[in-house]
Amino acid sequence: MTVLPGSHRAAGLLDDAALVRAMLDVEVAWASVLGSSLELGDWAPVLDPVEVEAAGNPVLPLVKALRARASVTVHTGLTSQDVLDTAFMLLARGAVERVSADLRRVGAALAGLAVEHRVSVMAGRTLTQFAVPITFGLKAARWLVGVLDSLDELDTVRRSLPVQCGGAAGTLSRVADPAVVPAFAASLGLVWPGMPWHTYRAPVTRLGDAVVRVCDALGVLAADVLTLGRPEIGEVREGFVAGRGGSSTMPQKRNPVLSVLVNSAALQAPGLGAQLHLCAARAVDERPDGAWHAEWPALRALLELAVVASAQAAELVEGLEVRADVMARRASEAAGELLAERGGGTDPASYLGQAETFVDGVVKRWQGSW
């Protein structure tokens, strides 16, 4: 059993083996800009956990194994934090690209729902009670805004992921030609921010904040589906998949598993983001004494949450069953309450304000985003 249901959706992106491969990519790129050719093929060492503990991080055991294999000088001028920070940026790039791809699936499905249900009347609710009429198209459009904003933020973060290169104390003391650093960054598809960021952790917190906001947006969607899917409401329902949503004791159950898991991710993500900020605030001296180390598991967990949740959300929205007839019937039955603001009436569809205009604007933004 895995700790995170759905972790198979992130397989190979953020695990220990992926981190080792990313660290090797960093060492190969660094050797190359210094004029050495480091040919490793598919080779990757299995790091001894005792050696990792003894070093305090996995870089020293990796470099030891690399030096035993390579015929050229490796790691000259770098420090462990350079390698590990840069490796995490490479892992983050892969995770962000995966999340963005699944968010585009979510967005496409939501845009379709917004158009299809542009005038599908339903009861609007505030503070759990009936408010005024809305359309399901408007609700889908609101979800879509969160997805669009998240895609924009992820794209900005992805294009600014930085290489780390500072040497022992952030002075590049063993690098004779500083021009190699931008070349190093370019070879990895990262950016060189102009100086090392060993104790300035904004690159990590910016990444974390963007990922938390992805989970926020998906969490709202999932929570709405959970509410609207309650049997006593029954306005939406997760699509049926054989073998999913069963109960160990109650054979009649069809649990909304995807919504539950996406909602769970949204509840976990802010704490992990806060952990990154706490670590950033304690990044003292020229290289931190524990704050950096506490950052790794939080960042990996947060990225994995987003990868898994975005894939689950895509499947959720693509299979979502919308029961517009139930929505319309409930809105009609509650017309007295829904139209009270206007002073009464019997047709909720006559009091939708700018709902259709708002839907059209969001859908147009989606269509123009590609």
Is residue 250 predicted with pLDDT exceeding 60?
no
Is residue 1 predicted with pLDDT exceeding 50?
no
Mean pLDDT of the region 248-260: 76
332 falls within a domain: yes
Buried b / exposed e across 232-271, counting CB within 10 Å, b at 16+? eeebbbbeeeeeeeeeeeeeeeeebbbbbbbbbbbebbbe
**Does the pTM of the predicted model rise above 0.85?**
yes
Per DSSP, the three-state class of 191 is strand
Mean pLDDT of the chain: 94
52 falls within a domain: no
Distance CA 314, CA 134 (A): 24
Mean pLDDT of the region 329-339: 97
Domains in the chain, number:
1
Nearest to 92 by CA among 174, 14, 38, 28: 14
54 falls within a domain: no
pLDDT tier at 241, thresholds 50, 70, 90: confident
Residues sharing a CB contact under 8 Å with residue 232, sequence separation 6 or more, in sequence order: none
Is 110 in contact with 149 (CB distance < 8 Å)?
Answer: no
Question: Annotated active-site positions, please?
Answer: 247, 287
307 falls within a domain: yes
The pLDDT, as a whole number, for residue 81 is: 97
Is residue 350 predicted with pLDDT exceeding 80?
yes
Where in the sequence is the domain holding 203, given as residue range(s)?
79-163+195-368
Distance CA 299, CA 282 (A): 16
286 falls within a domain: yes
111 falls within a domain: yes
65 falls within a domain: no
| Neighbouring C-beta atoms of residue 177, cutoff 10 Å | 10
Is residue 186 predicted with pLDDT exceeding 50?
yes
The pLDDT, as a whole number, for residue 247 is: 52
Helix (H) or strand (E) segment spanning residue 171: none
Distance CA 235, CA 320 (A): 11
Mean pLDDT of the region 40-68: 94
Q: What does each C-alpha distance from 147 to 93, 102, 109 come to in angstroms?
A: 18, 10, 11
pLDDT tier at 361, thresholds 50, 70, 90: very high
pLDDT tier at 291, thresholds 50, 70, 90: very high
Write out pLDDT tens, residues 187-230. Answer: 999 999 999 999 999 999 999 999 999 999 999 999 999 999 99
300 falls within a domain: yes
Q: What is the CATH number of the domain that holds 298?
A: 1.20.200.10
pLDDT tier at 254, thresholds 50, 70, 90: confident
C-alpha atoms less than 13 angstroms from C-alpha of 333 in its C-beta half-sphere: 6
Is residue 114 predicted with pLDDT exceeding 80?
yes
